[in-house]
């Protein structure tokens, strides 16, 4: 049985590794993911990231409740921000996925999105707070 903490760790890993792939994809100059080669993987990474973002706020809250008891009230405002950032980043990812072709330029713009960057920073902070 997977614990909420294990599930959170898996989701964070999926999002971080997806972002790393997206950085590389953006630098490769693909006109579309429909070309042969590694560009075709971009949808797989984006879909995995989108799935990892679904219900992320609930998972984070479960981990906070299970491990921090009464202190969870101090976490709540940050957890609400993380949930909001996850929704916004997920919306941007779904927008990219809805495109017929995913270019490196589109992915570069997604990578630069404040929503995705805020989410990544949120995850770094919460992961450290939960393990520290």
In tens, the pLDDT along 71-105 reads 778 888 999 999 999 999 999 999 999 999 999 99
Nearest to 102 by CA among 50, 51, 20, 45: 45
Cα–Cα distances (Å) from 69 to 36, 81, 107, 115, 128, in that order, read 51, 20, 40, 29, 17
Cα 64 from Cα 74, distance rounded (Å) = 10
Nearest-Å Rg of the Cα atoms of the chain is: 16
- The pLDDT mean for the chain works out to 91
CATH number of the structural domain spanning residue 106: 1.20.120
- Model pTM score: 0.91
In tens, the pLDDT along 43-63 reads 999 999 999 999 999 999 999
Phi, psi angles (nearest 5°) of residue 45: -65, -45
Nearest to 54 by CA among 95, 15, 5: 15
Give the chain's domain count: 1
Provide the pLDDT confidence category of residue 36 given band limits of 50, 70 and 90: low
Structural domain including 48 reads 4-131
Phi, psi angles (nearest 5°) of residue 92: -65, -40
Class of residue 118 by CB neighbours under 10 A (exposed 0-12, middle 13-18, buried 19+): middle
In tens, the pLDDT along 108-126 reads 999 999 999 999 999 999 9
């Amino acid at each position: 049985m997977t614990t909420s903490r294990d599930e959170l760790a898996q989701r964070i890993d999926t999002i971080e590794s997806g972002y790393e792939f997206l950085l590389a994809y953006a630098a490769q100059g693909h006109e579309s993911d429909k070309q042969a080669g590694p560009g075709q993987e971009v949808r797989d990474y984006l879909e995995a990231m989108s799935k990892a973002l679904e219900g992320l706020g609930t998972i984070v809250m479960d981990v906070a409740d299970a491990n921090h008891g009464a202190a969870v009230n101090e976490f709540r405002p940050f957890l609400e921000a993380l949930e909001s950032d996850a929704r916004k980043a997920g919306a941007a990812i779904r927008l990219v996925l809805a495109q017929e072709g995913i270019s490196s330029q589109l992915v570069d713009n997604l990578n630069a999105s404040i929503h995705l960057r805020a989410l990544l920073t949120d995850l770094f902070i919460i992961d450290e707070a939960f393990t520290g």
